[in-house]
Structure 1
Amino acid sequence: MILKTFGWSFVITAVGLALAVLYDGWTAFGIVAILSILEISLSFDNAVVNAGILKKMNAFWQKIFLTIGVLIAVFGMRLVFPVVIVAISAKIGPIEAVNLALNEKEHYKELVTDAHASIAAFGGMFLLMIFLDFIFEDRDIQWLRWIERPLAKLGKVDMLSVAIALGVLLVSSMTFATHAHLHGGAHADKGETVLISGIAGLITYMIVGGLSGYFEDKLEEEEEAELEAEEAAKKSGKGGASAVLLAGKAAFFMFLYLEVLDASFSFDGVIGAFAITNDIVLMALGLGIGAMYVRSLTVYLVRQGTLDDYVYLEHGAHYAIGALAVILLVTIQYEINEVITGLVGVVLIAWSFWSSVRRNKRIAAEGGGDFSEKAEVSTGV
């Protein structure tokens, strides 16, 4: 199972490290290795959340996620995205932006730093909406009951998550954005930029998340109708209807949602990479290797049924998402070390895993049963 799931990750690691040595010697080898570890540590919560979505998709779309999805993640977000951001923020052509990335690395880093406010606002709002929609949903299984139970009741208010997100964005634009940090320790008022970028992140979430949710609901309805048709067919001797086309639409929009989600998670990794190197090639190699492991880990969690056995993992990952959203907004003005960002996610997920283990032991002591089907309410502490 390990080799089957992580095999391509091992291959990409070997190829990436070899290319790093050929590109700039053993120093480049060390930089790429460090960047890979950075990406994995910052994105473990991404893998858990992805697994919760990917388990609803068939084997074909899981393969698409590991192939085309990786190309988008590596070349799109870890290579093309930083160049596009510089081109847009500096109002220069894409060719000139690529030239800066390859030949004027210090100036390129300065431009990316100056564009951080818009990047953080977009990613922060997208991730904040994911967290809010999760925490306001009424669930059979609750981890931190003292938080989740009252919030689930508040979640019955229509558009509450959108109202809160817009409120957070407004406050951020009037506080952090008024002293957004630039290169060289300078500060500037980026309130308008943060508002526009944050609204763009909110709109992106509502469109992509809304479409994926819509087709997922339609798929569930169609699956129920298909089961009823199959039962009727057994009695009448006739065939039932097919839901392949609808399933394809649902899977496509869930795949699109996963890619936008990955993009939002990758912001802190891309920005944090500049603390290690300004070389766009080494950055793409290191973060690309890390992204491959995150995707393999996602598939591993799905195939092992880990989220079904350890039911609080998804809760911990979403709390980590909420923390990351806040951190991104705070970094508009203040610099926060990537180690702190990574540790917050690791601690929350480790805590949720430990709570899941305790829950499973308690259920076993009370008489056993299928952990994934025990829809009990628990404090998790």
Structure 2
Amino acid sequence: MSEDFRDYSRKVAIVGAGESQIGITPHKNLMELGVEAALNALDDAGLSVKDVDGIFSAGPGGNPIGAVTEYLGMTPRYLDSTSVGGTSYIILVEHAVAALMAGLCEVAMIFHGEMARSRVGASVGGPRPSTYGGQLEEPFAPTGAVSQVGLSAVRHMHEYGTTREQMAEVAVSTRKWASLNPRAVMREPQTIDDVLSAPMVAWPFTMAMCCLVMDAGGCVILTTAERAKDLKQKPVYVAGSAESMTHENTSQMKDFAFWEACAKNAERIFPMAGVDRKDIDVAEIYDAFVYNPMLAIEALGFCERGESGQFVSNGGTAPGGHFPMNTHGGGLSYVHPGPYGIFPLIEGVRQMRGNLGDRQVPDAHHALVNGMGVGFMSVCGTLILSDQESV
């Protein structure tokens, strides 16, 4: 790349983060969960609804962004409704940075509410017959997320000798983090044997290798680095950001065992943030299935292609491991309400604040946040967050 984007690094900070009640919430709809999270995030920042003049939302749940502004009684002067699946909320951070630096808004809210479990107010999705996916992939049944990811996982096993036991390590390590998080839905210890003996969903994944299906809302608040210094919380700076898309349909992946969009993001984020991979202290990586973060680890360059199985083995991503990952419990054990990217983002912010108690990574100054969206691994959003205004 001819530009390293350093002029955009650490100029905007995340100043508020909040979640709603999580779990199974049939007594609320998805907008109520989102508003609950938004009010919590604003309170966290020491701001109010009237301070927000930029709204960024990928839904929630298919609801238009106008419904968000109406429900909150807001009149924003900047709107962004980019919707590319679970990583939308990670990508929207980069969009908010651009809008804030351009002076198009002064306080940006990234708003989320989803109900994959209870479905109150949620839309019904799936490829329509008029789309390429509906015509060319849906009849052959690889469009469900578990079968899409399974195709790639089996290819990785074939090419590199990756084992199901290595994939199960991700679930075991993530559950160890969840046991330190009082809000996590699943906190009971589990072993590799427990993971592999759980009911089979789609080869090679058992139920314990798949994310939770729950209800939750999340929200973050951003403003300029200058204004952030006068607010309630320690600023968490957006040091690096990138987004990329390589395909839509699974059949159009160039390599079923490699995440191309994620690798493209890696070309920008590290030079933009002014750090190297060794400077990353904690990683929050979208884990709809145990295999997804393994592909991300390879594509981002933390290990060589085909070596993520060894990388995550022996508690590599667990508390005390060489690569702390998904410290809240991830989508596998904390919560996963559908599009999930807001939650690794929130955990990255909290790790940079340094006040998470038992699950706090010691002396952490740079957090990597990574997510996927749309078709299988077609879109990727990546961030580096930091508590340091300069390096």
- TM-score of the superposed pair, with normalisation by structure 1: 0.22
**Higher helix proportion:** 1
Structure of larger gyration radius: 1
Structure holding more strand per residue: 2
Q: Which has the higher contact order (CA 8 A, sep 6+)?
A: 1
